[in-house]
């Protein structure tokens, strides 16, 4: 018999099975939204490997999944590890970094995870960690929730399959930031940006500035051999629009970025390392230990880890960023302002804002036009009148009609 | 074109190509277009109420100006119209010629929530999956060469700039390479 014929039968059968599993999964996830505070509905497809545990125990037994984590307290690293059960983290992007970050936090026993991605799992993703070939065709949010729940049923999971940059979804996204806490009313504690494009990062920046939520950015370069993480506290550290995006987004020179050929290469190693750096930094922030990194680069070719703090730009184009900066100045609240720490501190710290602290120089690289207006300013003197109408005279409808007629 | 509406005394000999990244040097959707499209002023996105209306008017005027420029040069290569009243969704088509054959595609995009900090994702559904420079769903990959330029020119750049400086060069670079790779069948297109 032709082996191809039988394998195509198998494929057809598998596809039918995927469809029905997806439907089953979908009905479950649909039924659980809008989510009451912290109840992940058990999936009929992947049964959890253990029952839920109410309280984290430090008891050292082979059957306690938290004993090694609670040992961090005995070792003096973390004061109160159980706090992680009350923490809510929102992850945007379940690619090679985000999915691994979600697994790490799940294994750490995080209280609640909110997952956002609009994509489906593809076989082309199999050079990365976390997803498995049998997930191909499933939505990343669905596949991730099923896997994460089976790893640790104590974690409350919430998944949303949409693009956060689109106008209709953005408001919902903002609402989940503001009310995605474990109690269903308070804001999430931290947002992790694990997306691969500038537009999504800007949307997350906008939402976090508006909702005043701390976030951490991650990125892996197009050539897969460098990456970075960045911590953004609205008003206290540089937001994503405070600095020219190219430098922050890649930490690489413009000239090397602009290459012919492919949109992106990827390596499981670099992505795993960046996910590890990201979640380590998140744990430090959430459980209050060690020094936070505000910008930490990683160059795989030279094993170089540049580390900087990026201060907010008083002239940032994002109005919410400027408002948050104002809040931190105006109320006289204080936070550490050292190279290594911008966290909030008690009364009596020094002046919270100096002058000219836009951290441009720390990442400025030769050959990159950091503040350049690209010489196009001269065009702006020209000509909004070019269409033959003054700016405010024509209504939107008239302009639309003019455009349509012109092209007919 | 030097007599175009943007022309001003003393500006004719200004080196128009100076701000251009090198990738555009080889394209015929040319750098000089940049000088002729009106710059925008209002920094507002779709969530900003009346400010957005002002912004959309500027957008519309800039697109109208670009269409006029193209028509004057007998170099029409796109058609685009807003789909909804708020002008957050746009739809149309774009085309390019290669080896005497016209390749035409439908084009659409949504204005993102964080606009104008980020430029819209221009989508050509027909090209989905055909090239590494297309993301899923047919979003053309402008990250490398156009997004950085856009970011440095917020809020002055608008939809017209995304078309003229992002989509135009992209089409004239990518379509030939898709055709030579045999990924774009010549059927269904008409000769010029
Ligand atoms: Zn800012």
ipTM over 0.90? The verdict is no
Q: Spell out which residues of chain A touch residue B80, defining contact as CB-CB under 8 Å.
A: 403, 407
**What pLDDT, on the 0 to 100 scale, is given for residue A317?**
84
Contact status of B137 with chain A (Cβ, < 8 Å): no
Using the beta-carbon criterion (under 8 Å), do B153 and A374 form an inter-chain contact?
yes
Nearest to A386 among B65, B114, B148 (CB): B65
Tell me, in angstroms, the distance from the centre of ligand 1 to residue A96's CA: 27
Distance CA A266, CA A254 (A): 19
Q: Are B159 and B59 in contact (CB under 8 A)?
A: yes
Using the beta-carbon criterion (under 8 Å), do A381 and B68 form an inter-chain contact?
no
Tell me, in angstroms, the distance from the centre of ligand 1 to residue B64's CA: 33
**What pLDDT, on the 0 to 100 scale, is given for residue A301?**
93
Q: Are A380 and A263 in contact (CB under 8 A)?
A: no
Using the beta-carbon criterion (under 8 Å), do B37 and A379 form an inter-chain contact?
yes
Using the beta-carbon criterion (under 8 Å), do B5 and A378 form an inter-chain contact?
no
Using the beta-carbon criterion (under 8 Å), do B117 and A202 form an inter-chain contact?
yes
| Topology given in CATH for the domain delimited by B2-191 | Ubiquitin Conjugating Enzyme (3.10.110)
Distance CA A5, CA B6 (A): 65
Catalytic machinery residues of B: 141
**What pLDDT, on the 0 to 100 scale, is given for residue A309?**
80
Cα dist from A43 to A24, A50, A161, whole Å: 9, 13, 17
Core vs surface per residue A246-284: b (16+ CB within 10 A) or e = bbbbbbbebeebbeeeeebebbeebbbbbbebbbebbbb
Distance from CA of B8 to the nearest CA of A (A): 8
Nearest to A198 among B11, B19, B118 (CB): B118
Nearest to B38 among A203, A383, A402 (CB): A383
Distance from CA of B187 to the nearest CA of A (A): 25
Contact status of B6 with chain A (Cβ, < 8 Å): yes
| Topology given in CATH for the domain delimited by A83-249+267-334 | Rossmann fold (3.40.50)
Q: What is the CA radius of gyration of chain B?
A: 17
Distance from CA of B181 to the nearest CA of A (A): 13
Contact status of B129 with chain A (Cβ, < 8 Å): no
Contact status of B89 with chain A (Cβ, < 8 Å): no
| Catalytic (active site) residue A342 | no
Contact status of B12 with chain A (Cβ, < 8 Å): no
Each residue's pLDDT tens digit in chain A (408 positions)?
A: 444 445 666 677 777 777 777 766 665 555 555 545 566 654 545 555 788 888 888 888 888 899 889 889 988 999 999 999 999 999 999 999 999 999 999 999 999 999 999 999 999 889 899 999 999 999 999 999 999 999 999 999 999 999 999 888 999 999 999 999 999 999 999 999 999 877 889 899 999 999 999 999 999 988 889 999 999 999 988 898 887 544 444 443 333 333 333 457 889 999 999 999 999 999 999 999 998 998 899 999 999 998 888 888 888 888 999 999 988 876 544 454 443 455 554 433 333 333 333 322 222 222 223 233 333 333 333 333 333 444 457 888 899 999 999 988
Contacts of B114 (CB under 8 A, 6+ apart): A165, A170, A199, A202, A203, A205, A206, B45
Q: Spell out which residues of chain A touch residue B87, defining contact as CB-CB under 8 Å.
A: 396, 400
Residue in B62, B76, B87, B117 to test binding to A, most A beta-carbons within 10 Å: B117
Determine how β-strand A215-220 pairs with β-strand A190-193: parallel
Other Cβ atoms closer than 10 A to B59: 26
Contact status of B176 with chain A (Cβ, < 8 Å): no
User: Which residue, B140, B187, B110, is CA-closest to A168?
Assistant: B110
Q: Is the entire prediction scored with pTM above 0.80?
A: no
3-state secondary structure chain A: CCHHHHHHHHHHHHHHHHHHHHHHHHHHHHHCCCCCCCCCCCCCCCCCCCCCCCCCCCCCCCCCCCHHHHHHHHCCCCCCHHHHHHCEEEEECCCCCHHHHHHHHHHCCCCEEEEECCCECCHHHCCCCCCCHHHCCCEHHHHHHHHHHHHCCCCEEEEECCCCCCHHHHHHHHHHHHHCCCCCCCCCCEEEECCCCHHHHHHHHHHHHHHCCCEEEEEECCCCCEEEEEEECCCCCCCCCCCCHHHHHHCCCHHHHCCCCCCCCCCHHHHHHHHHHHHHHHHHHHHCCCCCCCEEEEECCCCECCEECCCCCCCCCCHHHHHHHHHHHHCCCCECCECCECCECCCCCCCCCCCCCCCHHHHCCCCCCCCCCCCCHHHHHHCHHHHCCCCCCCCHHHHHHHHHHHHC
**What pLDDT, on the 0 to 100 scale, is given for residue B44?**
93
Tell me, in angstroms, the distance from the centre of ligand 1 to residue A371's CA: 15
Determine how β-strand A226-232 pairs with β-strand A190-193: unpaired
Using the beta-carbon criterion (under 8 Å), do A317 and B43 form an inter-chain contact?
yes
Core vs surface per residue A299-308: b (16+ CB within 10 A) or e = bbeeeeeeeb
Nearest to A403 among B8, B21, B63 (CB): B63
Residue in A202, A261, A367 to test binding to B, most B beta-carbons within 10 Å: A202
Q: Are A43 and A21 in contact (CB under 8 A)?
A: no
Each residue's pLDDT tens digit in chain B (192 positions)?
A: 333 333 333 333 333 333 333 333 333 444 566 778 899 999 999 989 899 999 999 999 999 999 999 998 888 999 999 999 999 999 999 998 888 888 999 999 999 988 998 889 899 988 877 776 676 667 776 766 677 778 878 899 999 999 988 898 888 888 888 888 888 876 554 433
**What pLDDT, on the 0 to 100 scale, is given for residue B187?**
57
Determine how β-strand B78-82 pairs with β-strand B89-98: antiparallel
Nearest to B112 among A199, A258, A396 (CB): A199
């Amino acid at each position: 018999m032709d082996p191809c014929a039988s394998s195509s039968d198998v494929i057809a059968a598998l596809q039918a099975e995927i469809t029905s599993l997806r439907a089953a999964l979908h009905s479950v996830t649909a039924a659980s939204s809008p989510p009451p505070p912290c109840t992940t509905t058990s999936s009929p497809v992947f049964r959890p490997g253990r029952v839920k545990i109410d309280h984290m125990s430090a008891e050292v037994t082979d059957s306690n999944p938290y004993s090694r984590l609670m040992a961090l307290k005995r070792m003096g690293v973390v004061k109160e590890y159980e706090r992680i059960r009350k923490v809510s983290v929102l992850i945007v992007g379940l690619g090679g970094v985000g999915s691994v970050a979600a697994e790490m936090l799940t294994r750490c026993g995080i209280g609640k995870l909110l997952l956002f991605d609009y994509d489906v799992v593809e076989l082309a993703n199999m050079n990365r960690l976390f997803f498995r070939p049998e997930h191909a065709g499933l939505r990343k949010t669905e596949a991730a929730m099923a896997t994460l729940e089976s790893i640790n049923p104590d974690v409350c999971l919430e998944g949303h399959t949409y693009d956060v940059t689109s106008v209709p979804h953005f408001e919902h996204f903002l609402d989940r930031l503001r009310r995605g806490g474990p109690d269903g009313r308070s804001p999430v504690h931290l947002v992790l940006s694990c997306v691969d494009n500038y537009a999504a990062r800007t949307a997350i920046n906008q939402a976090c500035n508006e909702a005043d939520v701390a976030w951490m950015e991650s990125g892996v370069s197009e050539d897969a051999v460098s990456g970075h993480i960045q911590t953004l506290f609205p008003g206290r550290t540089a937001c994503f629009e405070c600095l020219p995006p190219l430098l922050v987004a890649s930490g690489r020179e413009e000239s090397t970025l602009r290459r012919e050929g492919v949109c992106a290469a990827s390596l499981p190693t670099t992505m795993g390392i960046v996910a590890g750096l990201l979640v380590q930094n998140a744990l430090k922030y959430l459980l209050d230990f060690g020094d936070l990194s505000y910008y930490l680069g990683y160059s795989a070719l030279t094993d170089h880890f540049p580390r900087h703090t990026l201060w907010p730009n008083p002239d940032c184009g994002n109005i919410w960023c400027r408002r948050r900066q104002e809040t931190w100045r105006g109320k006289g609240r204080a936070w550490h302002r050292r190279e290594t720490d911008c966290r909030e501190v008690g009364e009596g710290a020094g002046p919270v804002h100096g002058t000219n602290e836009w951290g441009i120089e720390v990442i400025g690289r030769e050959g990159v036009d950091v503040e350049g207006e690209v010489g196009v300013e001269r065009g702006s003197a020209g000509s909004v009148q070019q269409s033959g109408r003054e700016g405010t005279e024509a209504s939107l409808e008239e302009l639309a009609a003019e455009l349509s007629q012109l092209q007919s | 074109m030097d007599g175009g509406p943007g022309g001003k005394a003393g500006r004719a000999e200004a080196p128009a190509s100076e701000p251009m990244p090198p990738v555009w040097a080889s394209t015929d959707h040319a750098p000089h277009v940049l000088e002729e499209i009106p710059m925008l002023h209002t920094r507002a996105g779709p969530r900003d109420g009346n400010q957005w209306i002002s912004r959309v008017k500027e957008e519309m005027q800039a697109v109208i100006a670009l269409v006029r420029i193209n028509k004057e040069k007998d170099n029409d290569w796109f058609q685009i119209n807003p789909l909804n009243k708020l002008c957050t969704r746009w739809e149309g088509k774009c085309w390019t010629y290669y080896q005497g054959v016209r390749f035409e595609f439908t084009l659409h995009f949504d204005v993102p929530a964080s606009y104008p900090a980020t430029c819209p994702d221009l989508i050509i559904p027909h090209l989905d999956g055909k090239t590494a420079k297309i993301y899923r769903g047919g979003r053309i990959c402008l990250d490398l060469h156009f997004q950085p330029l856009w970011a440095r020119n917020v809020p002055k750049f608008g939809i017209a700039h995304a078309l003229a400086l992002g989509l135009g060069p992209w089409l004239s670079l990518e379509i030939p390479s898709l055709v030579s790779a045999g990924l774009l069948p010549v059927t269904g297109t008409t000769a010029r």
